[in-house]
């Protein structure tokens, strides 16, 4: 559906590659393809509750008609506050059938964080899980003037005032299952907003066109060599772009099926693999690490998995999945909600340790540049920038934020804010977030690599590596760490341990132990807050303590 064709033309002194137009498409065309090809085969499994493409189509028709009666029109936003379940998928298809835009909100959000996304998106309707209704009750009101209706799935934990509330089941029961009138949805029309995590300020709504949603699903399908008989298992939440692309849209393209867990569980992982016959698992690298560190489970024996798609995947964890579980891994990819996949592994190639594959030159032009947007030489570190090779292959900007959109599209390149490097063979390596990168005494230090090292200490539960402004310019390195429950460790002991693990110039000057790290509602560490706090009363300073070590 999304293949690219090309041809070469030869003159006397050069060879040109001519790209023919990439066929653009929509989420609705992907659904129509599945309905025409295999409407009644298993499509999505929600912990034993199965749906076919036809059943999802009928339910989404019912909801779309109901939303239309509530005043939802093309371009309107329909928010959801739902854990993984069929209602999330039905809401997605119902919205796009009307030409409306789904706004899936992280279920960790509440209070001002939830209110911000409802207000910023200008959502007219929110579909909310019953036991989360109280959060909507708290957030809705004068601060969300465009929000008019709430559709509640299951018994509400609190009455929602300030908007008109409707019960999911009776609303759908009295609605029509007939096809929704054609809204004239085009590949460039928006399918959903995915909000950034907001680690440096208010979260921003990434506007994602239909064609981009389908294109990413197709990229991943090709990278995984996903076949119709594959079963994809994912515990990733459907308010993330990855799960939408892989499980919901990717399964339409592959003519296969997917099993979507309500949430991740180490103890239930292998039983779910056995129950579903999963051949591919799609998850985060952090979840793959938890499984690699867990005790053996009886259902591991004779399991059906052939591939674990998870990133980032440290080399030692990759080895565990290969040798202990007999399962190949795919972590050779790099991308953001705004643009994916910027890099991946071409079919038939073997990835290098620590690499994120190679730049995806089919869909993007990719460069590594300095602060003046000049390309850096091979092997040197630069910011990863890209631009699409065709229309609607990445985000369409941040909703209602033209200045911030323009700021990341400087010089007609999308600036990821991430640092990387390319090797002589064309492999791309993620180095660090640009704002988290440190420079000490003329040496560059990756907080990403440092954190990976300190995480390996058996007494460390969590850690953030960040800069503290040095009195002699540039940065000093600070480690802010959380110890494992019951563990005892001194700052001097941790510093001594690090001498043999990191370059001499990266040995931290400052160490501080805390009960927890400052985080946003989705759990990401707020490094800017740690940087602003700098040296506190409880910070250990190796120079003040007279701690010395031998450079080697």
User: Does the structure show a pLDDT above 60 at 18?
Assistant: no
Residue 429, both tokens: 């390596």
Looking at residues 470-475, what average pLDDT do you find? 70
User: Does the structure show a pLDDT above 60 at 17?
Assistant: no
Which residue shows structure tokens 């977030």?
A: 433
Encode pLDDT of 227-240 as tens digits. Answer: 999 999 999 999 99
User: Does the structure show a pLDDT above 80 at 449?
Assistant: no
Write the CA distances from 431 to 83, 103, 335, 434, 444, integer angstroms.
33, 31, 13, 9, 10
Encode pLDDT of 19-40 as tens digits. Answer: 445 689 999 999 999 999 999 9
Encode pLDDT of 84-132 as tens digits. Answer: 999 999 999 999 999 999 999 989 888 888 999 999 999 999 999 999 9
Q: How many helices (H) and strands (E) does the chain have?
A: 16, 28
What's residue 552's pLDDT? 67
User: Does the structure show a pLDDT above 90 at 270?
Assistant: yes
437-541: in CATH 3.30.300.30 = yes
What's residue 528's pLDDT? 82
With contact defined as beta carbons under 8 Å apart, do 422 and 379 qualify? Answer: yes
Q: Which CATH number fits domain 27-209: 3.50.50.60, 3.40.50.1970, 3.40.50.980, 3.40.190.10?
A: 3.40.50.980
Write the CA distances from 188 to 103, 233, 278, 360, integer angstroms.
17, 30, 34, 21
Helices (H), 38-149: 53-69, 86-97, 111-121, 133-139
Mean pLDDT of the chain: 91
Q: Domain 210-433: which topology? A: Rossmann fold (3.40.50)
Q: How far apart are CA 350 and CA 346, in angstroms?
A: 9
Query: What is the domain partition of the chain in residue ranges?
Result: 27-209, 210-433, 437-541
| Nearest Cα residue to 150 out of 138, 195, 349, 137 | 137
Domains 27-209 and 210-433 share a fold: yes
User: Does the structure show a pLDDT above 50 at 15?
Assistant: no
Whether the CA torsion 133, 134, 139, 144 is positive or negative: it is positive
Helices (H), 244-363: 250-254, 266-276, 285-293, 315-323
In the chain, % of residues over pLDDT 70: 93
SS3 state of residue 267: helix
Encode pLDDT of 396-438 as tens digits. Answer: 999 999 999 999 999 999 999 999 999 999 999 998 888 887 8
Q: How far apart are CA 410 and CA 133, in angstroms?
A: 41
């Amino acid at each position: 559906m999304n293949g690219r064709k090309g041809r070469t033309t030869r003159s006397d002194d050069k060879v040109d590659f001519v790209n023919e137009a990439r066929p653009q498409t929509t989420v609705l065309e992907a659904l129509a393809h599945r309905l025409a090809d295999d409407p009644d085969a298993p499509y999505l499994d929600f912990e034993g509750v199965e749906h076919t493409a036809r059943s999802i189509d009928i339910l989404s028709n019912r909801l779309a008609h109901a939303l239309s009666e509530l005043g939802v029109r093309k371009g309107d936003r329909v928010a959801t506050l739902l854990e993984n379940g069929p209602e999330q998928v039905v809401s997605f298809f119902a919205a796009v059938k009307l030409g409306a835009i789904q706004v899936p909100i992280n279920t960790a959000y509440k209070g001002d964080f939830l209110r911000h996304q409802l207000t910023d998106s200008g959502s007219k309707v929110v579909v909310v899980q019953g036991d989360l209704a109280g959060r909507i009750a708290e957030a809705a009101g004068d601060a969300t003037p465009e929000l008019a209706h709430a559709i509640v799935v299951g018994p509400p934990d609190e009455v929602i005032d300030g908007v008109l509330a409707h019960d999911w089941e009776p609303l759908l029961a009295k609605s029509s299952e007939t096809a929704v009138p054609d809204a004239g949805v085009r590949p460039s029309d928006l399918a959903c907003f995915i909000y950034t995590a907001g680690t440096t300020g208010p979260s921003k709504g990434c506007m994602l066109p239909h064609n981009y949603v389908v294109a990413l699903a197709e990229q991943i399908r090709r990278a995984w060599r996903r076949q119709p008989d594959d079963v994809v298992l994912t515990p990733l939440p459907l308010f993330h772009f990855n799960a939408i692309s892989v499980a919901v849209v990717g399964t339409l393209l592959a003519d296969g099926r997917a099993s979507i867990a309500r949430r991740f569980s180490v103890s239930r992982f292998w039983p779910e693999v056995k129950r579903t016959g999963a051949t591919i698992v799609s998850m985060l690298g952090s979840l793959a690490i938890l499984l690699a560190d867990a005790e053996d489970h009886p259902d591991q024996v004779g399991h059906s998995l052939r591939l674990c798609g998870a990133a980032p995947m440290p080399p030692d964890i990759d080895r565990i999945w290969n040798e202990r579980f007999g399962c190949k891994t795919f972590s050779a990819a790099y991308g953001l909600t705004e643009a994916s996949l910027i890099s991946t592994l071409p079919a038939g190639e073997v990835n290098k340790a620590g690499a994120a594959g190679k730049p995806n030159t089919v869909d993007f032009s990719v460069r590594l540049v300095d602060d003046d947007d000049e390309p850096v030489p091979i092997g040197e570190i630069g910011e990863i920038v890209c631009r699409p090779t065709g229309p609607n292959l990445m985000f369409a900007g941040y909703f209602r934020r033209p200045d911030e959109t323009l700021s990341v599209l400087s010089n007609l390149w999308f600036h990821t804010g991430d640092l990387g490097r390319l090797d002589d063979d064309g492999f791309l390596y993620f180095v660090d977030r640009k704002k988290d990168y440190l420079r000490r005494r003329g040496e560059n230090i990756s907080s990403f690599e440092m954190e990976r090292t300190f995480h390996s200490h058996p007494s460390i539960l969590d850690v953030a590596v960040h800069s503290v402004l040095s009195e002699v310019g540039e940065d000093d390195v600070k480690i802010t760490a959380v110890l494992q429950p019951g563990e005892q460790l001194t700052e001097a002991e941790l510093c001594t341990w690090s001498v043999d693990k990191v370059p001499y110039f990266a040995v931290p000057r400052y160490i501080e132990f805390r009960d927890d790290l400052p985080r946003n509602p989705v759990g990401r560490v707020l490094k800017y807050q740690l940087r602003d706090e700098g040296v506190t009363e409880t910070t250990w300073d190796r120079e003040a303590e007279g701690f010395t070590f031998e450079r080697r």
